Structure 1
Amino acid sequence: MLTSFWQKQIPLMLGIDIGSHSVKAVLLSHQHNHYKVEAFAIESMSKGAMAEREIQDIEAVGRVIAKIRKKISKNIKHAATAVSGSTVITKVIFMDVTLSDEELESQILIEADSLIPYPLNEVSLDFEKLEVNEADPSKVNVLLSAARTESVEARISAIDIGGFDSKVVDVESYALSRAAQLCFSQLPDDASEKVVATVDIGATMSLLSIIENGETVYTRDQVFGGEQYTRSIVSYYNKTFEEAEKAKLSNDLPPNYTFEVLAPFQTILLQQIRRAIQMYLTTSGKENVDYIIISGGTALINGIDKLIVDELGIHTVLAKPFAELEFSPLVDKDAIEQVAPQLMVATGLALRSFSPWHI
């Protein structure tokens, strides 16, 4: 009954992932226990509009979103977007299990000074009740998220300029975990009971989300991405950045680039993934990660999943979030499947249309 209520009352939201080099958007609907892809779009970002996932030129980003607006049904008015990076903090805290949401909010605001390393007048806070604490049943685990208000407001302003109304500002790593659930069909049947790492490698930022028994238990952002690969192509072959991007995607590069550019980048990429997973294992006390789902634009480098399997010995798949979904007749199925790994965060945001919780 409750599920039916939320589906009827909440209008669909377009998931908008504002990245360093492009804006990605996904629209999903949900009927008869099935998700359907209603629309998607990717538009390139103008140079200098973003820096390390922070908006530098709100109007420029808004113009990119306006291009997406033209490709999406006029009936869709609402959007969900996300923040990431060093300005975002997430913590699991323990609160009295008997507190209502209103009482929780009051208590969190009282204690926030000791929880958040920024002045409270500079941050936006939200929280979500999780499960009852196993060690102390009188406490409930609460996910607290905080982001610099200027980061949140910049995204809201850009989306407003683009012609949408922002209804949700999420955290990218949690949107990534949400989309990862759609990829579990690619993994062995026991994936929902195992430790699954989702690694999203964008242009300048890599996100790690660890899912255990269906719950997000660890997230980490790293300043590393495919732009480093592109700049190596620029340096070695005297190309402009735009030419290098095109050459990278079309594989229009000299035969020796594999040794001069690709192999060194793959080595760094493996080091980054290994280090991120090791930090999780050290923090959690776990012995290993069972499976890896890899996504983001850099995941499209040919053979990256096999490389991770060979070097790290962990069962790895390239994210295909739409593999089990239905498609609107207006969606080019071949086109979306080619870029599916890039659309993970946008997909996780689109899923917020069906999520009544805070975060």
Structure 2
Amino acid sequence: MLSKLWKKKASMMVGIDIGSYAVKAVLLSQGDNGYILEDYAIEPMPRGAVIDREIQDIEAVGKVIAKIRKKISTSIKESAIAVSGQTVITKVIYMDVALSDEELAGQIEIEADSLIPYPLDEVSLDFEKLSVNESDPSKINVLLSAARTESIGARVEALESGGFSTKVVDVESYAISRTYDLCLSQLPDDASNKMVAMVDLGATMTLFSAANENEHVFSRDQLFGGEQYTRSIVSYYNQSFEEAENAKVKGDLPPNYRFEVLAPFHTILVQQIRRAIQMFLTSSGFDKVDYLLISGGTALVEGVQELLTEELGIYTVIADPFNDMEFAAKIDEDELAKVAPQLMVASGLALRSFSPWHI
């Protein structure tokens, strides 16, 4: 019943984030003073090969991953990847604390049939015991994760064709949450005792996670990202998508772009994040978010950090998962600084080398 890929723990793995615009990879090791960034790579994705985080062209994605394989100069071929989007379901359910693992597995399969809107023979399931339920000590909180087997299989096949073997399949929002400790030093000293929201702003997907006093308490993803900004440039200045994306990255836009395309995108971005925060507060019972960590390529759009601090009234920082790390000699720190916020998911996946946690 359970996919072994979801549980197996490797000694050292490359974290590989397969996105709509690029594949990002991170390799970490562990030294006496903490983690060491051994290598990283980013390789652009052909348009249409991945849509809304679902692989449409396995062969094309495999070719991109093969380029990543050549850039990551290491003998390590084991990898951790992640799934996200509408085909991924995670829920905390409550089970009898006295059940053995075998009994729990059987009971969860029964529960999953009513919780998951897909036939069970089309999904891969995994679960993990969390903690005894505070309200009812006879129950234990159990994290149930499910994803379409087809979605997992496409990723595994693309990784294999690119020269990697897949040892862990994670959930992207959990990978983001796992980087919380890496970024904590960027926030004020009291952050470990506060509510911290993490928002990863990708090309087409926004991942929202929240941690309260160092404990992961919420995650959600939604279809929204920087592609909307690119499409505005396409429409307003009559450029091709590739020209617009290049102009956005290089800042090579007409003088009035701040008023014509940037300000409207800023407005939509604030609305999306405000809505995500409100949904979290409403569903969780918490009353506020104290700090906000933003990451992903869209976090680097001009003025986003300052905008969110001002409009939401929440101290906002652009996340850098390598802020306190040592670097291998080959790492160009200036080049890394330009892309570090885009490597959050890959970094969270690379951390699976050192911990079997669900986040």
CA distance, structure 2, for counterparts of residue 64 and residue 14 of structure 1? 15
CA distance, structure 1, for counterparts of residue 10 and residue 172 of structure 2? 21
Structure 2, unaligned runs of 5 or more = 1-8
Q: How does 1:213-232 map to 2 (within 5 A)?
A: 213-232=213-232
Query: Does 2:193 correspond to 1:193?
Result: yes
Q: Which residue number corresponds to residue 308 of structure 2?
A: 308
Which AA in structure 2 matches 1:151? S
CA distance, structure 1, for counterparts of residue 309 and residue 133 of structure 2? 35
CA distance, structure 1, for counterparts of residue 335 and residue 100 of structure 2? 46
Q: Which residue number corresponds to residue 206 of structure 1?
A: 206
Which AA in structure 2 matches 1:190? D
1:123-157: CA deviations, max 9, x gaps? 00111111221111222211110001100111111
Q: Which residue number corresponds to residue 247 of structure 1?
A: 247
Shift of the 91–239 alpha-carbon distance from structure 1 to 2, 3 Å rule, reads: same
Q: Which residue number corresponds to residue 6 of structure 1?
A: none
Q: Which residue number corresponds to residue 99 of structure 2?
A: 99
Q: Which residue number corresponds to residue 132 of structure 2?
A: 132
Whether the 8 Å contact between 1:90 and 1:145 is mirrored in structure 2 is yes
Q: Which residue number corresponds to residue 284 of structure 1?
A: 284
Cα offset, 1:32, TM superposition: 1.9
Q: Which residue number corresponds to residue 75 of structure 2?
A: 75
Cα offset, 1:180, TM superposition: 2.4
- TM-score of the two chains, using structure 2 as the length reference: 0.95
Q: Which residue number corresponds to residue 295 of structure 1?
A: 295
Cα offset, 1:357, TM superposition: 4.1
Which AA in structure 2 matches 1:51? I
CA distance, structure 2, for counterparts of residue 223 and residue 321 of structure 1? 24
Query: Does 2:24 correspond to 1:24?
Result: yes
Which AA in structure 1 matches 2:283? T
Whether the 8 Å contact between 1:37 and 1:326 is mirrored in structure 2 is yes
- 188-197 vs 306-315, which deviates more? 188-197
CA RMSD, 1 decimal: 1.3
Q: Which residue number corresponds to residue 274 of structure 2?
A: 274
Whether the 8 Å contact between 2:17 and 2:25 is mirrored in structure 1 is yes
Cα offset, 1:98, TM superposition: 3.0
CA distance, structure 2, for counterparts of residue 61 and residue 184 of structure 1? 33
Whether the 8 Å contact between 1:49 and 1:61 is mirrored in structure 2 is yes
Secondary structure, counterpart of 2:211 in structure 1: strand
Cα offset, 1:235, TM superposition: 1.1
Cα offset, 1:211, TM superposition: 1.1
Cα offset, 1:358, TM superposition: 5.8
Whether the 8 Å contact between 2:204 and 2:227 is mirrored in structure 1 is yes
| Identity over aligned pairs, percent | 70
Which AA in structure 2 matches 1:85? G
- 160-169 vs 28-37, which deviates more? 28-37
Which AA in structure 1 matches 2:93? I
Which AA in structure 2 matches 1:38? E
Q: Which residue number corresponds to residue 153 of structure 1?
A: 153
CA distance, structure 2, for counterparts of residue 79 and residue 152 of structure 1? 13
Q: Which residue number corresponds to residue 11 of structure 1?
A: 11
Which AA in structure 1 matches 2:223? V
CA distance, structure 2, for counterparts of residue 192 and residue 56 of structure 1? 40
Q: Which residue number corresponds to residue 4 of structure 1?
A: none
Cα offset, 1:163, TM superposition: 0.3
1:252-311: CA deviations, max 9, x gaps? 111100000000000000000000000111111221111110000000012211110110
Whether the 8 Å contact between 1:180 and 1:344 is mirrored in structure 2 is no
Which AA in structure 2 matches 1:213? E
Q: Which residue number corresponds to residue 233 of structure 1?
A: 233
CA distance, structure 2, for counterparts of residue 69 and residue 236 of structure 1? 38
Q: Which residue number corresponds to residue 48 of structure 2?
A: 48
CA distance, structure 2, for counterparts of residue 357 and residue 303 of structure 1? 35
Structure 1, unaligned runs of 5 or more = 1-8
Secondary structure, counterpart of 1:70 in structure 2: helix
Q: Which residue number corresponds to residue 5 of structure 2?
A: none
Q: How does 1:55-74 map to 2 (within 5 A)?
A: 55-74=55-74
- 102-111 vs 203-212, which deviates more? 102-111
- TM-score of the two chains, using structure 1 as the length reference: 0.95
Cα offset, 1:74, TM superposition: 4.0
CA distance, structure 2, for counterparts of residue 328 and residue 102 of structure 1? 44
1:60-111: CA deviations, max 9, x gaps? 0010000000011341110000000000000001122233333322221132
